[in-house]
């Protein structure tokens, strides 16, 4: 369980998060959506323990967060791949840098490549991959650590519509197959409604609205008119004056 209690984050004179409170159940998903500059990435960095709030606190599974936490993985918007390492080594890197044994590294990298459907690209370097393949490697680097809290910043925003849906399907299947709490930041209303059990709408450093989403986790939800009605509701809230 993630409990954000009245956090404030400032960059110099600018308040990026202003008294933000939010609870996210263990093994649930939460999508955070809002206009550019409203504080989404800042919220994710605070959850990752990279940014310390100036006031308020974050508690994860009962422990107050005061730095980077072992069970948390963060996927950045630019995928964070190392260009001089091939796909296999990019995914192995987080394990090797934490002194995992060779056999364990090999087993985990193999199964991660398999579950992401990129085994055949293991020897390629990031410069030789498509956007969707790079994003899979970025996801691989995070899930190979078997986190209990996975944070994703704009996981599919750089991708075309079809690839975006494939990545969203992949994220949903990773969530369903693992005991994991997922918090994702997105610009896309459809992505928020497809992947967010809870949808948090932010505006200028504050939470404007929170919605429990009945359409979460249904594989063919995008084929259903009701799904788009929820999208319309989220759109209205986003556009509403605070």
Ligand X SMILES: Nc1ncnc2c1ncn2[C@@H]1O[C@H](COP(=O)(O)OP(=O)(O)OP(=O)(O)O)[C@@H](O)[C@H]1O
Applying CB under 5 A, the residues found at the interface with Mg ion are 41
* 28 vs 41, beta carbon nearer Mg ion: 41
Residue 36 near ligand X by CB under 6 A: yes
Torsional sign, CA 161, 162, 163, 164:
positive
Residue 14 near ligand X by CB under 6 A: yes
Q: Which among 8-16, 142-150, 167-175, 226-234 is the span making contact with ligand X, rule CB under 6 A?
A: 8-16
* 29 vs 41, beta carbon nearer Mg ion: 41
Cα→Cα distances 127→18, 72, 124, 150, 163, Å: 40, 27, 8, 25, 18
What's the rounded Cα separation, in Å, for the pair 176 and 161? 23
Considering only 28, 29, 42, 213, the residue that binds ligand X (CB under 6 A) is: 42
Considering only 24, 30, 40, 193, the residue that binds ligand X (CB under 6 A) is: 40
* 148 vs 153, beta carbon nearer ligand X: 153
Residue 41 near ligand X by CB under 6 A: yes
117 binds, among Mg ion, ligand X, none (CB under 5 to 8 A by kind): none
Residue 182 CA, distance from chain mean position = 6
Q: How far is the CB of 92 from ligand X (least distance, A)?
A: 29
* 39 vs 126, beta carbon nearer ligand X: 39
* 188 vs 221, beta carbon nearer Mg ion: 188
Report the SS3 class of residue 52.
Answer: coil
Contact between residue 194 and residue 29 where contact means Cβ atoms under 8 Å apart: no
First to last CA, the chain: 29
Contact between residue 59 and residue 3 where contact means Cβ atoms under 8 Å apart: yes
Considering only 11, 103, 120, 241, the residue that binds ligand X (CB under 6 A) is: 11
> Please, which residues have CB within 8 angstroms of residue 224's CB and are 6 or more apart in sequence?
215, 218
Q: Which among 37-45, 62-70, 140-148, 222-230 is the span making contact with ligand X, rule CB under 6 A?
A: 37-45
**b/e code 19-47 from CB counts within 10 Å (16+ = b):** ebebebeeebbbbbbbeeebbbbbbbbbb
**Which residues of this protein are in contact with ligand X, per CB under 6 A?**
11, 14, 16, 34, 36-42
């Amino acid at each position: 369980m993630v409990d954000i209690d009245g956090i404030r984050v400032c960059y110099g004179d600018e308040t990026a998060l202003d008294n933000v409170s939010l609870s996210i159940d263990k093994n649930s998903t939460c999508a955070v959506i809002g206009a550019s500059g409203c504080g989404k990435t800042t919220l994710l960095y605070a959850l990752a323990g990279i940014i310390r709030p100036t006031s308020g606190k974050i508690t994860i599974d009962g422990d107050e967060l005061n730095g980077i936490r072992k069970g948390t993985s963060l996927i950045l918007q630019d995928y964070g791949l190392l260009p001089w390492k091939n796909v296999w080594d990019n995914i192995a890197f987080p394990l090797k840098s934490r002194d995992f044994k060779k056999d364990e590294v090999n087993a985990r990298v193999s199964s991660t490549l398999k579950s992401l459907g990129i085994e055949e690209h293991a020897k390629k370097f990031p410069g030789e991959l498509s956007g969707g393949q790079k994003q899979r490697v970025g996801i691989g680097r995070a899930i190979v650590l078997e986190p209990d809290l996975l944070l994703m910043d704009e996981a599919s925003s750089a991708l075309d519509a079809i690839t975006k849906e494939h990545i969203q399907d992949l994220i949903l299947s990773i969530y369903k197959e693992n005991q994991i709490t997922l918090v994702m930041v997105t610009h896309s209303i459809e992505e928020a409604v497809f992947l967010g059990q809870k949808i948090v709408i932010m505006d200028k450093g504050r939470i404007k609205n929170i919605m429990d989403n009945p359409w979460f986790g249904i594989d063919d939800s995008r084929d259903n008119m009701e799904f788009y009605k929820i999208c319309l509701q989220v759109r209205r809230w986003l556009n509403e004056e605070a």
